[in-house]
C-alpha cells in the first residue's frame, strides 16, 4: 500500500486514492512512424528491477497526473514531480544518485 | 419549473453522529489559471471570498469557494442564485481562457455533525482527520469507501461532504453504517 | 527411479521409510548441454520433460536461481480450465487440461488433478453474452463447456447466494472437467521425471548472462560458472525482462504483483471452483480444507512478492457477499507472486531474435493451468522449429496488431 | 487431573461465575478466564483432535501460538470454526464444540489413522492413489476430501449477525505489543512529543513479566505496569488499544490492526471487529517471545504443555493442568514453572534438564524439595488421551536405559523464539543468535519504508533479550530510537531497572534424547496440528526436498492455523541436522500476514449488504422501481431493462415497448449517458485528436456522431457531439464511458498536449436526460409547450435533425438534441437533474393521449439493431476497429493524426480477411443464438473447426416479426445473400442469410420528419 505525495495538492495520498498509469516519459509516435517505433511506443516497457519512472493520477483527489521516481525492488520513492515534463528533473535524478549511485534508466543516469 | 428536488430530499439519520442530506446547494465548477486576476474577481463577486490557496476552503453557509485542484475551484452560492451568479461570472471571465459550469444538480451534499463526526469520516476516508491535521478552512478530496468525494469542516464538529448525485444513496447508507450506534472509536 | 505406488509405500513403511531415494538428483553442472532451460517453474520443467519424452533430447539442464517450483508455480490458486475464447488459447489450454488428466500416471507422481468443475458466474447482461459466446466457440474448439442456469449453479454450489443485492447470479459458464491440481506436486513430479531421464536440475544457480556468437546462443553465465548449450529456453515468468536483456532483446512485458490468500481449513463445503469476475473474486476449497482465494493485480511494476492490501479487501468483500457463510471464517495467510503481463495478456511462446534462443513468458495471472500444454508446445518448437500450439503466440504479433485478447468476452486471464 | 486451585489467578474474578458449555456439557468458570483455562479448571484436558491422524489434543500453550485447542464457537449466525480456546475470553452463555472427529471427541473413527501413521508419512499421497486412474476421481479423492478440514463449515445459509468496520489512523510511532517492553517503548516515544499508538492483542497490559516475577525499579512488576498504563492513559498524544492485534506490516508503514470489540460480549451494539489501517512513520514491535516445545516421543499427548503456559495457567487463572508434574527443559526459565507450581501446592516430581549445569533457580527449586536431574531427557510420554507416565533417559544417546515415572502433566521448555513476524512481514531480515539458539531481527537489515530507510524497530524479547532488565533497557532504547526516526527528540531519561534471578546459559536441544532412535523420532511431534514429526522432516530431507520451503510444502510443517509458531524453529533445526548444514544456512520460511488469522468479514469491513458496492441511480430511479423496472446493472449504474407490467413476462414487455415506440411514443431515461464539456481555444483541435472524425468543423448548434479509438486502434466509445459555442463542445459518451472518457481526455491534456488550451468538465449528472421517441414525439413536446404557454420551437424547420437548441420545453429549462438512436423522430432532452422526475412526470402525463410508454435498455437495443446502428460493447469487444464495422466514413482522411490512426495501418488491421459487419437473417425467421459462430470448411492445425464469423447482436424484432441479427463475417460485405451456418450449443445448426444490417427504414425517412 504505497503512499505518494501528489505534487499538485500536496497531500500524501495512499494508493487507493491514486491510479497507476504505467511508464513515464514515453514519446508518442503517430502517423508516419515506423512499425518498430510504434510498437515500442505502445508495448515496450523498461520494466526494470530497480529505479523506475512512472505515471500516477490522483484520481480520487485533485484528478491530476504526476510522475513518480520509484524503485521496483524495494518500493522506495525518490520523489514525485510534475507530469508536464518530458524527462526526470535534475533534482530528482540527484536524489536518486544520492541513494543509488550508478543507477540508469533509459538514457538517464 | 417545478420545485427542484435534491437526491435524497433531506433524509437524515442519528447515530454516533448526525447525518443529514443538506438539500440543494448552488455549485459552480470553475477552471482556469488560479493566479489570474479575472478569476479572483469572479470568485470575489460571486462569494465575497478571496482566492483560496492549496486545499483551502472558505465557506460560510451556502456561499464560499473551495480549492479543488491547481486549476479548479468549486464555487458555492445559494441554489436560487446560481444562474445569475454564473452569468455574471461568465461575463467577468469573457476573454479569459476558463470554464465555468453549473454543477449544482450533479452533486449531493451531506452534513455530518457531532462529537464523533471526525471518527465517522475516519472510517471511510483514508485521510488523517485528527484536529492537528484537519480543520475548518481546509478541504480534502478523497475516497469515501468506494466513491470519490470531498469534504470540509464548517466547525470543529461538523463536516460537509460532497459526492456525485447518483451515489447519494450509497453515500448516505455508508455514512449511516459508519455512524451506527455503539461504534464510537474513541480516538478524536 | 523408484516406482511410486501404495505397495511401495507399504513396503517402505516396514523399513521406517529409510529406503526412499531422492526425488531428483542435485548435480553439479556439466560443461555443456544440448539444451538449457532457465527457470525450474512448471513451464520450464514441463518443457524439459517433453523435450526428453517426445523428442529424445535428454542432455538437458534446467537452471533455477532459487528452489524448483518456488516461483509462481508454487504460489498460485491452482485453477485449471480451458474455456478460453480465442482459438489459439483454447487449443493450448485444452491441450494442457487433457494432459493434466493423465499426468499423475505419466509422471508416476500423484499431482492430484481434481476435475471438480469450474463455474464462471455471469452477473451482468454483458457477462451472459460473453459466456454464451465462449460456450459457442468452445463447442467448435473441442472444449466441453456449458452455459448453465442460476438454479444449476445453486445445485453445484449450495453455499452461493444467488440474489446478491448488487449482482444477482444470472447463470454461468460451466466446465465440468476443469478443476485444480496440487501445484507443488506438478513441479515436483516433472522434476522427478526429468531427473530420472538424466536431465540435470540445478538449483540455487542464477543465470547472470547469455553468451552468444554470430547471432546464436552458445551458453549461459551462472553463479556456478559458465555452461555451454546449443539451444536455450528462457522460462522465468516475472524475470523474463531481465533474461531477455541478457540475451540482447526486449520483451513487451511488465511485472506486477498478484495476490492470493487462504482461509483456515474447514470441513468440505464447496465442491467446485467458482470465479466471479464482475466482483473480482474466485474461490475453491483445497483438498486440505482451506478456501483458496485469488485477488487482483497491482497496476504498477513490482518485484517484491508482496502486493497492496486493498486488492485482498476487494476480493474478500466480494466473496463474503457471494458466499455469506464464509463471513466468520478467518484469513490464515496471504502472499503475492510476480506475474509477467503482456500487452494483450496472452503469453509469448516464441523464437527470439537470438538464434537458438526461445522464450516462454507472459503467462500473467493464469499460466498454471497451461503448464503441460505449454511444455508440450514449447518442446516441439525448440526441437523442430515449429508448433501449431505456439504458432499464434509469437513476440512479433504486437507489431502486426494481431492480439490474442481473452478479456473481450467478459473473460479474465486467470 | 487438571483443576482450579484455591489460590492464585490474578486475572480472574472469583466472585463472578460464568456458565458455558463444551460439547453440550454445561460448565462453570470465572470472569477473566479464557475458554482454555476454564476447560482445564473443569478437567477437560482433551480439547480436540489433530488434522491428519486424529490424535487426541490438549491445550499446549496459553496464547496466540496455540495449535491444538481449537473449537467451534457460538451457534447459528454467530458460529465460528477454529477459534483458539486460549485467546477466547469466557462469557456467560458461551457454547463451544471440539473439532475434527466423528462420532465424538472421545471416540473417533478417524483415529485409526494414528495406527496407520507408519503408512502415512509426509507426502504419502504423492506416491499413492495413482493407479488405477479412475479410482482417483471416484474413490481416492472423495475419500481424501472427506477427511479434509478442521473445523465445521458454518451453515450454508448462515448470514453473519454482526457488523464490521475499518478505521484509518495516522501516527508517528506505532508500538505493537503491550508487555513491559511495549509499554516502556511507548512511554519514551510519547515523552518526545511524538504521536504514539500502542496495541495489545490480549485484554491485559503487561505481557509475561507479571507472571514471571522479578522487580522493576524495586517494585513488583504488576505495580510497575499499572503505573505505566495510567501514565500512558493520561497522555494526550497516546492512543492505547487492547484486544487489538497487529495483524500485518505492509509497505510504506501500513499496518493492519485487528480489534476485537465484542467477541467477549457477543450481541452488544456496535461492530464486532474493527480493522485499523494504520500509517505509522515508525513501528516498534514489542511482541515478546514464544516458548518452544521440546521434541521427544509423545510430546503431543494431552497434558504435555509449554512450561510458561503452565505457569500462566497457575498465576493468571489459578488452574493447574495436573497434580503431579514433570518439568523438562534446556534452560533456567522453566524452573520458574516448577517453583510456582510447587508454591501453589502442586507436586513437582522432577525437573529433567538436558544440560549438566543450571543457575540459581535450580538451587531455589532444590530447596523447595524438587528433584533436579541434570543431563536427563524425556524418552517418551505414555498415555493416550492424557499423560499417564513418562520414561526418562539420558540426553546423550539413543534413549536406552529408561526410568519410568508416573505423572499426569509435563511442562516443557526448549528455549524462546522472539516473535519476529511483524519485523519480517515487509522484508526485515533475521540473524541467528547462537547463544540463545533463536533467530532475532537483524537491526542492519530492517524493512524499508517509502524513504528507503528502515521503519521497523524491535524491542524487548521480540528483539532477542530475555532477562527482564535487558528487556527494559532494550525497549527504552527502541522507543527513543523510534521517536528520533519519526523526527522527534527523545528525552534523556534512564531506563527502568528490572531485576530477576540471573540465569545460566541455555543449551540448544533439538531432539530428546539427542540421538533418539527412529521409533522415538516417529513419535516426536514438531507440528502438533498438522501431525508433522521429526521423522517426516528427516524423510523430506532424504528425498531431496532440501530447501526449507520444499520441506514445508512436502510435510506441511508450519502450514497449520498457528503458522508454525511452535514448530518452525524446531523443524528447521531438524532439517539442518539432516542436511548436515547449519540452521542459519537453512533459513526460515517466509513470514506472511496475518499474525494470527483474522475474520474475512473484518477485511470486507462495512462493505456488505446495502453498501457492498455503490449502485448509481438516475434522478428517476425510484419511479422506475415503482413502475415495474426489471433492473440491469450497467457498470455501477442500474438501468431499466424493461418495464414489466403485472401478468407480463419480461419478453412480452420488451416487445410491447418496441412496438409502441415505433408506433406511438416511448420515453427512455438516458441520464446515464456521459456528458463532457470541452472548452477552450484549442478544443476543436483537441477533439480532432480524440475522435476519428472531424469535430472542429462542426457548426454551432449542430450535432455530429463521433467515434473514438484507443491509440492501439480499437474502438473505445462513441456518441453525439454538439457544438455549443465558438470554443465549447459537449460530448456524449456511453453510460460506461463517462468517467473513462473524461479520464482519457484529461490524460492526454495533462500528459501529452499540456500546452493546449482546453478545459474539460464532466457534467453527466447535472442533467436528467430523456429520449422522447416515436411518431408522436413532437406532439407531446408541443403539448407541453402549449400547456405552459410558449417555449422552444421543436418543429422540423426550427430544430432540424442533428441540431440542438436551448430553451423552455413546457415549464422546464431544457436543451433538446434532435438525434436518434432508434431511427424514429426523436428528441433527447436534458433538464437539470433536480427537475428530472418532474419532467418525466410531465411527459408521462402529457403523453397519455399519444400512447406514451417508458421503455428500457433492451427495447433501445432492438430499435437500434433494426436500424443497423452499432453498440459499443455489443459490436465491439476491445478487438474491433471502425473498419470492421463499415464505419470508414467516420475515419477522417483529411486529418493528419488522431488517436488510432497510426495503429490502423499495421498489417493485421489492414488485413482484408478481417471479419466485417453484416446483417444476418435466419432462413426460417427464428432468432440466432447470441454469440454463435459461423463455421467454414474443415479444421485448423489444432483440430478446431474453422470459423468464419460470429453473431454480435441478435434479437427478435416485434416490428418485423422475425429474428434479426448483426455479425462479423469474413469478407461479409462481399457475400450478400449467401447462407452461413451457425452451430448452436443446443445441438441445432442455424442457417442465416447475409444481408444489409439496416433492417428498418433503410432510407432514414422516419427520423427526419
Ligand atoms: C497469486 C497467483 C495466483 C495464480 N492463480 C492461477 C490460477 O488459479 N490458475 C492458473 O492457471 N494460473 C495462476 N497463476 C499464474 C501461474 O502461477 C503462473 O502463470 C505460472 O505458475 C508460471 O509458471 P512459470 O513456470 O512460467 O513461472 P515460475 O513458476 O515463476 O518459474 C520461473 C522460475 O524461474 C526462475 N528464475 C528467474 N530468474 C532466473 C534466473 N536469472 N536464473 C535462474 N532461474 C531464474 C524463478 O526462480 C522461478 O522459479 C497465479 C499466479 C499467482 C502469482
Ligand atoms: N527468562 C526467560 O527465559 C524469558 C523468556 C521470554 C520472556 N521473558 C520475559 O518476558 C517478558 C518480555 O517482555 P516483552 O514486553 O518483551 O514481551 P511480552 O511477551 O511480555 O509482551 C509482548 C506482548 O505483546 C503482545 N503481542 C504479541 N504479538 C502481538 C501482536 N501481533 N499484536 C498485538 N500484541 C501482540 C502479547 O500479547 C504480549 O502482551 C520479560 O519479562 C522477560 O523477562 C523471559
Ligand atoms: C493452493 C494453495 C494452498 C495453500 N494452503 C496453505 C495452507 O493451508 N497453509 C499455509 O500456511 N499456507 C498455504 N498456502 C500458502 C503457502 O504457505 C505460501 O504462502 C505460498 O505458497 C507462497 O509462498 P511464500 O509465502 O513462501 O512466498 C497455500 C498456497 C497455495 C498456492
Ligand atoms: Zn492531488
Task: From chain D, pick out residues whose CB is under 8 angstroms from the CB of A38.
Answer: 902-903, 906
- The predicted structure's pLDDT at residue D935: 97
> Which pLDDT score is estimated for D329?
98
List, chain by chain if needed, residues with CB within 6 Å of any ligand 1 atom.
C 38-44, 63-66, 70-73, 75-79, 206-207, 235-237, 239, 243, 258-260, 294, 337, 339, 363, 365-369, 414
pLDDT(C166) > 90: no
Whether residues A62 and B72 touch (CB distance < 8 A) is answered with yes
Backbone angles phi, psi at C412, to 5 degrees: -130, 170
- How many angstroms separate the alpha carbon of residue A9 from the centre of ligand 4? 4
Q: Do B126 and A14 touch (CB under 8 A)?
A: yes
pLDDT of residue D568: 96
Residue-level pLDDT at C12: 92
Would the CB atoms of A52 and C301 count as touching at under 8 Å?
A: yes
pLDDT for D399: 92
D878, C287: Cβ pair inside 8 Å?
no
Residue B5 sits at the chain D interface (C-beta within 8 Å): yes
Tell me where in chain B the CATH 3.30.1360.120 domain(s) lie: 12-22+106-178
C198: its cell numbers: 538424466
Query: C276 near C284, Cβ under 8 Å?
Result: no
Q: Work out the percent of chain C whose per-residue pLDDT is above 70.
A: 98
pLDDT tops 90 at residue B29: yes
Nearest CA to ligand 2 atom 41: D209
Average pLDDT value for residue range C366-383? 98
- pLDDT value at C59 more than 60: yes
Out of D11, D84, D177, D256, give the residue to mutate to test ligand 2, the one with the largest number of ligand atoms within 8 Å of its CB.
Answer: D177
Cα(B14)–Cα(B113) distance, rounded to whole angstroms?
A: 10
Among D319, D324, D336, D407, smallest CA distance to D36 is for: D319
Confidence class for position C411, pLDDT limits 50, 70, 90? very low
In a domain, A13, yes or no: yes
Task: Tell me how close the Cα of D627 comes to any Cα of chain A, in angstroms.
Answer: 35
C87 touches chain D (CB under 8 A): yes
* CA distances from residue C407 to B154, C346, D681, D709, D906 in whole angstroms, order as listed: 47, 10, 39, 18, 22
Distance (angstroms) between ligand 3 centre and the Cα of C75 equals 6
Q: What is the DSSP string of C3-37?
A: PP-HHHHHHHHHTTTTTPPPSS--PPP-SEEEEEE
To test ligand 2's pocket by mutation, which of D179, D285, D315, D598 has the most ligand atoms within 8 angstroms of CB? D179
Only one residue has cell 504521536, namely D195
* Distance of alpha carbon D588 from alpha carbon D563, whole angstroms: 12
Strand-pairing partners, residue D95, are D21
> Residue A7 sits in a domain of what CATH number?
3.30.2270.10
The span from the CA of D518 to the CA of D535, in Å, is 7
C264 Cα–ligand 3 center, Å:
11
Q: Is the pLDDT of residue C412 over 50?
A: no
Pick from B69, B72, B147 the residue to mutate for testing the A interface (most A CBs within 10 Å). B69
**Distance, CA of A64 to CA of C228 (rounded, Å):** 52
Q: How far is A64 from chain B (nearest CA, A)?
A: 8
Contact D606 B127 (CB under 8 A): no
In a domain, A105, yes or no: no
Residue ranges of chain B assigned to CATH 3.30.70.1520: 26-105
Half-sphere exposure in the Cβ direction for D651 (13 Å, CA): 3
Provide residues of B within 8 Å CB-CB of chain A. 54-55, 68-70, 72, 126, 140-143, 148
Question: Using N-to-C axis directions, what is the helix angle for D857-866 and D650-663, rounded to 10°?
Answer: 50
Nearest 5°: phi and psi at D72? Answer: -90, 120
Look at B99 and D813 and tell me if their CB atoms are within 8 Å: no
ipTM of this model? 0.97
Of all protein residues, the one whose alpha carbon is nearest to atom 4 of ligand 2 is D466
Q: What is the pLDDT of residue D141?
A: 84
Closest partner residue to A8 (CB to CB) among B70, B126, B140 is B70
Residue A75 is placed in which grid cell?
518500493
What is the mean predicted confidence (pLDDT) over B73-93?
97
Q: How high is the pLDDT of residue C414? A: 42
Q: What percent of chain A has pLDDT above 90?
A: 99
The 10 Å Cβ neighbour count of residue C286 is: 21
Q: Look at the block and give the residue holding cell 499460466.
A: C367
In the prediction, which pLDDT does D447 show?
Answer: 98
Instruction: Please report the pLDDT score of residue D135 as a whole number.
Output: 83
Q: How far is D753 from chain A (nearest CA, A)?
A: 9
Cα torsion angle, B29, B32, B34, B36, sign:
negative
Residue D562 in contact with ligand 2 by CB distance below 6 A: no
Give the model's pLDDT for residue C1: 81
CA distance D737 to D745: 11
Q: Does A55 touch chain B (CB under 8 A)?
A: no
Query: Which residues, listed in sequence order, are joined to residue D167 by a DSSP beta bridge?
Result: D276
CA distance D280 to D456: 10
Contact indicator for B73, B43 with CB cutoff of 8 Å: yes
Domain B26-105 is classified in which CATH homologous superfamily? Answer: Heterotetrameric sarcosine oxidase (3.30.70.1520)
Ligand 3 contacts (CB < 6 A) are C 74-78, 183, 262, 286, 288, 290, 292, 305, 332-333, 335; D 549, 559, 563, 589-590, 592
* Residue B142 to residue A61, Cβ atoms within 8 A: yes
Distance between D833 CA and the closest CA of chain C, angstroms? 24
Amino acid at each position: 500500500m504505497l503512499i505518494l505525495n501528489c505534487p499538485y495538492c500536496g497531500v500524501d495520498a495512499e494508493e487507493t486514492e491514486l491510479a497507476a498509469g504505467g511508464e513515464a516519459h514515453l514519446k508518442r509516435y503517430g502517423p508516419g512512424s515506423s512499425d518498430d517505433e510504434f510498437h515500442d511506443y505502445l508495448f515496450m516497457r523498461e520494466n526494470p528491477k530497480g529505479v523506475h519512472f512512472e505515471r500516477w493520477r490522483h484520481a480520487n483527489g485533485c484528478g491530476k497526473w504526476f510522475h513518480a521516481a520509484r524503485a521496483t525492488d524495494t518500493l522506495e520513492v525518490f520523489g514525485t514531480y510534475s507530469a508536464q515534463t518530458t524527462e526526470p528533473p535534475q533534482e530528482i535524478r540527484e536524489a536518486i544518485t544520492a541513494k543509488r549511485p550508478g543507477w540508469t534508466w533509459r538514457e538517464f543516469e | 419549473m417545478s420545485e427542484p428536488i435534491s437526491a435524497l430530499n433531506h433524509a437524515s439519520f442519528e447515530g454516533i453522529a448526525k447525518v443529514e442530506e443538506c438539500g440543494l446547494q448552488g455549485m459552480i465548477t470553475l477552471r482556469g489559471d488560479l493566479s489570474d486576476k479575472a478569476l479572483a474577481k469572479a470568485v470575489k463577486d460571486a462569494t465575497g471570498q478571496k482566492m483560496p490557496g492549496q486545499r483551502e476552503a472558505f465557506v460560510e453557509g451556502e456561499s464560499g469557494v473551495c480549492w479543488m485542484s491547481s486549476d479548479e475551484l468549486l464555487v458555492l452560492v445559494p441554489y436560487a442564485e446560481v444562474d445569475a451568479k454564473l452569468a455574471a461570472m461568465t461575463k467577468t471571465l469573457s476573454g479569459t481562457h476558463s470554464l465555468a459550469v453549473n454543477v449544482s444538480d450533479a452533486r449531493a451534499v451531506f452534513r455530518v455533525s457531532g462529537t464523533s463526526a471526525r471518527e465517522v469520516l475516519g472510517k471511510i476516508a483514508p485521510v488523517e482527520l485528527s484536529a492537528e491535521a484537519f480543520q475548518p478552512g481546509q478541504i480534502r478530496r478523497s475516497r469515501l469507501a468506494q466513491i470519490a468525494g470531498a469534504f470540509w469542516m464548517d466547525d470543529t464538529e461538523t463536516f460537509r461532504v460532497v459526492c456525485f448525485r447518483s451515489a447519494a444513496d450509497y453515500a448516505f447508507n455508508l455514512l449511516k453504517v459508519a455512524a451506527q450506534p455503539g461504534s464510537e472509536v474513541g480516538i478524536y | 527411479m523408484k516406482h511410486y505406488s501404495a505397495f511401495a509405500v507399504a513396503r517402505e513403511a516396514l523399513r521406517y521409510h529409510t529406503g526412499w531415494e531422492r526425488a531428483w538428483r542435485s548435480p553439479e553442472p556439466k560443461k555443456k548441454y544440448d539444451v538449457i532451460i532457465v527457470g525450474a517453474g512448471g513451464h520450464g520443467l514441463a518443457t524439459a520433460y517433453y523435450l526428453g519424452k517426445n523428442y529424445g533430447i535428454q542432455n538437458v539442464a534446467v537452471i533455477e536461481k532459487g528452489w524448483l517450483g518456488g516461483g509462481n508455480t508454487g504460489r498460485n490458486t491452482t485453477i485449471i480450465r480451458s474455456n478460453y475464447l480465442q482459438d489459439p488459447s483454447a487449443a493450448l489450454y485444452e491441450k494442457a487440461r487433457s494432459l493434466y488428466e493423465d499426468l499423475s500416471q505419466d509422471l508416476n507422481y500423484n499431482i492430484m488433478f481434481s476435475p471438480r468443475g469450474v463455474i464462471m458466474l455471469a452477473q451482468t447482461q454483458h457477462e451472459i453474452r460473453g459466456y454464451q459466446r465462449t460456450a459457442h466457440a468452445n463447442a467448435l474448439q473441442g472444449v466441453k463447456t456449458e452455459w448453465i442456469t442460476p438454479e444449476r449453479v445453486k445445485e453445484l454450489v449450495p453455499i452461493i447466494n444467488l440474489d446478491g443485492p448488487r449482482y444477482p447470479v444470472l447463470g454461468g459458464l460451466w466446465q465440468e472437467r476443469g478443476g485444480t491440481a496440487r501445484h507443488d506436486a506438478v513441479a515436483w513430479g516433472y522434476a522427478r521425471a526429468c531427473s530420472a531421464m538424466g536431465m540435470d536440475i540445478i538449483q540455487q544457480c542464477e543465470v547472470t548472462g547469455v553468451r552468444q556468437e554470430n547471432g546464436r546462443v552458445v551458453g549461459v553465465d551462472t553463479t556456478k560458472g559458465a555452461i555451454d548449450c546449443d539451444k536455450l529456453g528462457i522460462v522465468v515468468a516475472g524475470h523474463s525482462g531481465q533474461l531477455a536483456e541478457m540475451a540482447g532483446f526486449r520483451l513487451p512485458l511488465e511485472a506486477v504483483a498478484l495476490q492470493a490468500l487462504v482461509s483456515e481449513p474447514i470441513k468440505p463445503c464447496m465442491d467446485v471452483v467458482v470465479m466471479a469476475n464482475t466482483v473480482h473474486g474466485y474461490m475453491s476449497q483445497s483438498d486440505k480444507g482451506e478456501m483458496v482465494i485469488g485477488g487482483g493485480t497491482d497496476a504498477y511494476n513490482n518485484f517484491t512478492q508482496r502486493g497492496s492490501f486493498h486488492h485482498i479487501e476487494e476480493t474478500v468483500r466480494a466473496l463474503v457477499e457471494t458466499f455469506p457463510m464464509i463471513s466468520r471464517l478467518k484469513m490464515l495467510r496471504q502472499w503475492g507472486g510476480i506475474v509477467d503481463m503482456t500487452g494483450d495478456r496472452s503469453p509469448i511462446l516464441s523464437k527470439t531474435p537470438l538464434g537458438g534462443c526461445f522464450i516462454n513468458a507472459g503467462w500473467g495471472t493464469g499460466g498454471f493451468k497451461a503448464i503441460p500444454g505449454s511444455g508440450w508446445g514449447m518442446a516441439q518448437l525448440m526441437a523442430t522449429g515449429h508448433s501449431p500450439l505456439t504458432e499464434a503466440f509469437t513476440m512479433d504479433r504486437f507489431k502486426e496488431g494481431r492480439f490474442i485478447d481473452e478479456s473481450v468476452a467478459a473473460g479474465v486471464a486467470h | 487431573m487438571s483443576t482450579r486451585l484455591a489460590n492464585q489467578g490474578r486475572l480472574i474474578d472469583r466472585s463472578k461465575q460464568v456458565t458455558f458449555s463444551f460439547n453440550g456439557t454445561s460448565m462453570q468458570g470465572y470472569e477473566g478466564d479464557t475458554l482454555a483455562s476454564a476447560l482445564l479448571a473443569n478437567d477437560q484436558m482433551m480439547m480436540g483432535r489433530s488434522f491428519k491422524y486424529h490424535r487426541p489434543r490438549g491445550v499446549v500453550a496459553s496464547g496466540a501460538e496455540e495449535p491444538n485447542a481449537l473449537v467451534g464457537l457460538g451457534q447459528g449466525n454467530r458460529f465460528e470454526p477454529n477459534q483458539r480456546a486460549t485467546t477466547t475470553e469466557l462469557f456467560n452463555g458461551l457454547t463451544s464444540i471440539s473439532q475434527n472427529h466423528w462420532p465424538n471427541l472421545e471416540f473417533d473413527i478417524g483415529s485409526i489413522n494414528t495406527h496407520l501413521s507408519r503408512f502415512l508419512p509426509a507426502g504419502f499421497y504423492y506416491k499413492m492413489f495413482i493407479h488405477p486412474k479412475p479410482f482417483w476421481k471416484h474413490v481416492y479423492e472423495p475419500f481424501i476430501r472427506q477427511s479434509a478440514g478442521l473445523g465445521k463449515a458454518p451453515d450454508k445459509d448462515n448470514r453473519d449477525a454482526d457488523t464490521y468496520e475499518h478505521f484509518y489512523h495516522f501516527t508517528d510511532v506505532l508500538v505493537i505489543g503491550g508487555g513491559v517492553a511495549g509499554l516502556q517503548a511507548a512511554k519514551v516515544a510519547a515523552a518526545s512529543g511524538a504521536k504514539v499508538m500502542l496495541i495489545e492483542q490480549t485484554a491485559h497490559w503487561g505481557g509475561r513479566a507479571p507472571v514471571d516475577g522479578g522487580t522493576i525499579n524495586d517494585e513488583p512488576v504488576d505495580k510497575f505496569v499499572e503505573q505505566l498504563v495510567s501514565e500512558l492513559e493520561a497522555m494526550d498524544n497516546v492512543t492505547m488499544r487492547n484486544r487489538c492485534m497487529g495483524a500485518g506490516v505492509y509497505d510504506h508503514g501500513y499496518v493492519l490492526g485487528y480489534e476485537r470489540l465484542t467477541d467477549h460480549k457477543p450481541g452488544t451494539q456496535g461492530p464486532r471487529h474493527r480493522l485499523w489501517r494504520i500509517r505509522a512513520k515508525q513501528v516498534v514491535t514489542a511482541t515478546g517471545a514464544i516458548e518452544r516445545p521440546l521434541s521427544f516421543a509423545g510430546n503431543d499427548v494431552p497434558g504435555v504443555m509449554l512450561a510458561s503456559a503452565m505457569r500462566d495457567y497457575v498465576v493468571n487463572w489459578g488452574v493447574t493442568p495436573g497434580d503431579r508434574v514433570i518439568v523438562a527443559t534446556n534452560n533456567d526459565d522453566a524452573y520458574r514453572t516448577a517453583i510456582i507450581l510447587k508454591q501453589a501446592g502442586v507436586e513437582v516430581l522432577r525437573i529433567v534438564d538436558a544440560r549438566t549445569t543450571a543457575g540459581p533457580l535450580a538451587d531455589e527449586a532444590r530447596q523447595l524439595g524438587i528433584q533436579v536431574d541434570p543431563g536427563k531427557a524425556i524418552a517418551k510420554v505414555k498415555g493416550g488421551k492424557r499423560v499417564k507416565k513418562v520414561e526418562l533417559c539420558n540426553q546423550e544417546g539413543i534413549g536406552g536405559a529408561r526410568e519410568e515415572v508416573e505423572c499426569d502433566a509435563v511442562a516443557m521448555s526448549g528455549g524462546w523464539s522472539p516473535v519476529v513476524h511483524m519485523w519480517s512481514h515487509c522484508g526485515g531480515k533475521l540473524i541467528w543468535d547462537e547463544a540463545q539458539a533463536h533467530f532475532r531481527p537483524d537491526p542492519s537489515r530492517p524493512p524499508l519504508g517509502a524513504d528507503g530507510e528502515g521503519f521497523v524497530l524491535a524491542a524487548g524479547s521480540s528483539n532477542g533479550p530475555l532477562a527482564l532488565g535487558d528487556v527494559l533497557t532494550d525497549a527504552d532504547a527502541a522507543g527513543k530510537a523510534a521517536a528520533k526516526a519519526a523526527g522527534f527528540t527523545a528525552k534523556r531519561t534512564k531506563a527502568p531497572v528490572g531485576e530477576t534471578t540471573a540465569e545460566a546459559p541455555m543449551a540448544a536441544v533439538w531432539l530428546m534424547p539427542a540421538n533418539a532412535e527412529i521409533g522415538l523420532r516417529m513419535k516426536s511431534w514438531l507440528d502438533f496440528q498438522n501431525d508433522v514429526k521429526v521423522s517426516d522432516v528427516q524423510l523430506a530431507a532424504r528425498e531431496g526436498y532440501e530447501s526449507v520451503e520444499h520441506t514445508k510444502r512436502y510435510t506441511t510443517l508450519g502450514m497449520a492455523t498457528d503458522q508454525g509458531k511452535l514448530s518452525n524453529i524446531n523443524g528447521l533445526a531438524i532439517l539442518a541436522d539432516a542436511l548436515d548444514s547449519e540452521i542459519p544456512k537453512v533459513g526460515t520460511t517466509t513470514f506472511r500476514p496475518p499474525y494470527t488469522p483474522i475474520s474475512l468479514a473484518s477485511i470486507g469491513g462495512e462493505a456488505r449488504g446495502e453498501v457492498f458496492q455503490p449502485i448509481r441511480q438516475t434522478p428517476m430511479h425510484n419511479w422506475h422501481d415503482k413502475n415495474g423496472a426489471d433492473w440491469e446493472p450497467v457498470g455501477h449504474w442500474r438501468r431499466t431493462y424493461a418495464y414489466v407490467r403485472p401478468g407480463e413476462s419480461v419478453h412480452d414487455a420488451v416487445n410491447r415497448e418496441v412496438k409502441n415506440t415505433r408506433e406511438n411514443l416511448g420515453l427512455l431515461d438516458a441520464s446515464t449517458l456521459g456528458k463532457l464539456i470541452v472548452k477552450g481555444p484549442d478544443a476543436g483541435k483537441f477533439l480532432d485528436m480524440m475522435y476519428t472524425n472531424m469535430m472542429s468543423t462542426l457548426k454551432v448548434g449542430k450535432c455530429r456522431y463521433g467515434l473514438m479509438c484507443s491509440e492501439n486502434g480499437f474502438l473505445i466509445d462513441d456518441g453525439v457531439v454538439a457544438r455549443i459555442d465558438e470554443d465549447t463542445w459537449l460530448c456524449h459518451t456511453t453510460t460506461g464511458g463517462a468517467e473513462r472518457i473524461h479520464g482519457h481526455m484529461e490524460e492526454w491534456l495533462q500528459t501529452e498536449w499540456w500546452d493546449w488550451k482546453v478545459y474539460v468538465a464532466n457534467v453527466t449528472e447535472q442533467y436528467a436526460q430523456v429520449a422522447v421517441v416515436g411518431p408522436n414525439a413532437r406532439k407531446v413536446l408541443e403539448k407541453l409547450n402549449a400547456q405552459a404557454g410558449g417555449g422552444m420551437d421543436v418543429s422540423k424547420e426550427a430544430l432540424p435533425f442533428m441540431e440542438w437548441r436551448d430553451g423552455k420545453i413546457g415549464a422546464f429549462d431544457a436543451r433538446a438534441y434532435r438525434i436518434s438512436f432508434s431511427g424514429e423522430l426523436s428528441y433527447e432532452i436534458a433538464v437539470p437533474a433536480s427537475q428530472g422526475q418532474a419532467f418525466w412526470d410531465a411527459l408521462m402525463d402529457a403523453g397519455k393521449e399519444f400512447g406514451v410508454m417508458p421503455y428500457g435498455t433492451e427495447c433501445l437495443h432492438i430499435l437500434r439493431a433494426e436500424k443497423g446502428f452499432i453498440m459499443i460493447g455489443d459490436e465491439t469487444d476491445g478487438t474491433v476497429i471502425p473498419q470492421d464495422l463499415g464505419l470508414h466514413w467516420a475515419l477522417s482522411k483529411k486529418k493528419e493524426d488522431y488517436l488510432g490512426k497510426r495503429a490502423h495501418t499495421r498489417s493485421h488491421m489492414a488485413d482484408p480477411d478481417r471479419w466485417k459487419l453484416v446483417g444476418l437473417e435466419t432462413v426460417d425467421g427464428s432468432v440466432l443464438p447470441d454469440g454463435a459462430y459461423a463455421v467454414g470448411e474443415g479444421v485448423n492445425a489444432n483440430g478446431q473447426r474453422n470459423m468464419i464469423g460470429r453473431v454480435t447482436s441478435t434479437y427478435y424484432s416485434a416490428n418485423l416479426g422475425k429474428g434479426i441479427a448483426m455479425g462479423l463475417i469474413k469478407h461479409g460485405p462481399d457475400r450478400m445473400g449467401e447462407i452461413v451456418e451457425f452451430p448452436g450449443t443446443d445441438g441445432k445448426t442455424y442457417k442465416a442469410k447475409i444481408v444489409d444490417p439496416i433492417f428498418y427504414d433503410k432510407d432514414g425517412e422516419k427520423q427526419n420528419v
